[in-house]
């Protein structure tokens, strides 16, 4: 009886070990299955939440913040129309100014375009002095004075900026220069001293094509870019 009892205990232990081994194997297979599917999911490229409509080109991703970027993103991948020559100029600017960002610059140029135009239309010389270099500011101020002497006022409105593309970029230490080509719709009206419309209409927008060059001394602490030159595109 003692032998039989001992044998039974050995059998029970063996069965218990086999059951535990089967449970462990089952859990191992489940874990492998889950990890395998997760790996496959991670390898699949993530689709953007919003797909572009029609023939519109997809908007490129903005560069990551410093410290998280895995590598420099070529400017031509960020802004359409960037040629190798322009790309080289942008890279030279970025090498001299670690704070420079191509997308941020284009967005800032759009804002500057609107602010300069609105300040000029209103005759705000102080605002223009903050946005333009002395030479350009002097030209705007002269035009404002001539308009005031004629008793005329501008009642213009920037309807939209259709395009803002980089047309040139260069760096000659310590000055960086970037030229932006703007395509915009502007509703323009000129009024006399009595407020009567003597030219233009707010109902019809006129297409404006401008080439503006912005410059910045990268050795200066202020991050501001100033309007250095204006021309028609």
User: 85 and 42 share a domain?
Assistant: no
Within a domain: 171 = yes
The reply to whether 85 and 179 lie within a common domain is: yes
131 and 44 in one domain?
no
133 and 208 share one domain: yes
Q: Which CA distances in Å does 98 have to 93, 110, 219?
A: 8, 22, 11
Do 89 and 39 reside in the same domain of the chain? Answer: no
Whether 22 and 100 map to the same domain: the answer is no
pLDDT digits (tens, 9 = 90+) for 2-56: 343 444 555 455 555 555 555 444 444 443 333 333 334 333 333 333 333 444 4
Is 137 domain-assigned? yes
Domain tally, the chain: 2
Q: What is the mean pLDDT of the chain?
A: 77
Angstrom distances, CA of residue 21 to CA of 15, 32, 56, 140: 10, 16, 59, 86
Cα(197)–Cα(199) distance, integer angstroms: 6
pLDDT tens, position by position, 114-172? 999 999 999 999 999 999 999 999 999 999 999 999 999 999 999 999 999 999 999 99
27, part of any domain: yes
Q: Checking DSSP bridges between strand 157-172 and strand 153-154, what pairing results, if any?
A: unpaired
- Is 224 found in the same domain as 136? yes
Task: Note whether residue 219 is domain-resident.
Answer: yes
Tell me how far apart the alpha carbons of residues 101 and 149 are, in angstroms, rounded to a whole number: 42
Q: In this structure, is residue 61 part of a structural domain?
A: no
Closest CA to 210 of 179, 187, 232: 232
Q: What is the pTM of this model?
A: 0.67
Q: Are residues 37 and 102 in the same domain?
A: no
* 96 neighbors 171 (Cβ within 8 angstroms): yes
Task: Return the bridge partners of 199, or none.
Answer: 190
Domain range for 48? 1-54
Say whether both 102 and 150 belong to one domain.
yes
Inside any domain, residue 161: yes
33 and 109 fall within a common domain: no
C-alpha span between 16 and 108 (Å, rounded)? 72
């Amino acid at each position: 009886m003692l032998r039989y009892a001992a044998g039974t205990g050995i059998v029970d232990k063996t069965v218990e070990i086999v059951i535990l081994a089967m449970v462990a194997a089952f859990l191992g297979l489940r874990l492998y299955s889950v990890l395998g599917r997760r790996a496959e999911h991670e390898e699949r490229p993530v689709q953007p939440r919003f797909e572009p409509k029609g023939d519109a080109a997809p908007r490129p991703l903005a560069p990551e913040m410093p410290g998280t970027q895995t590598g420099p993103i070529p400017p031509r991948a960020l802004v359409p129309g960037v040629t190798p020559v322009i790309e080289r100029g942008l890279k030279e600017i970025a090498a001299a100014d670690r704070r420079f960002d191509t997308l941020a610059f284009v967005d800032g140029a759009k804002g500057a375009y609107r602010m300069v135009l609105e300040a000029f239309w209103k005759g705000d010389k102080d605002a223009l002095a903050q946005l333009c270099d002395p030479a350009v500011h002097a030209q705007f101020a002269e035009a404002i004075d001539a308009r005031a002497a004629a008793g005329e006022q501008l009642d213009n409105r920037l309807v939209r900026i259709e395009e803002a593309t980089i047309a040139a970029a260069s760096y000659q230490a310590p000055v960086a220069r970037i030229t932006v080509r703007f395509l915009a719709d502007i509703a323009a009206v000129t009024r006399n001293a009595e407020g009567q419309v003597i030219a233009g209409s707010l109902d019809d927008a006129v297409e404006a094509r401008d080439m503006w060059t912005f410059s910045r001394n990268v050795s200066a602490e202020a991050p501001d870019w100033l309007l250095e030159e204006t021309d028609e595109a």
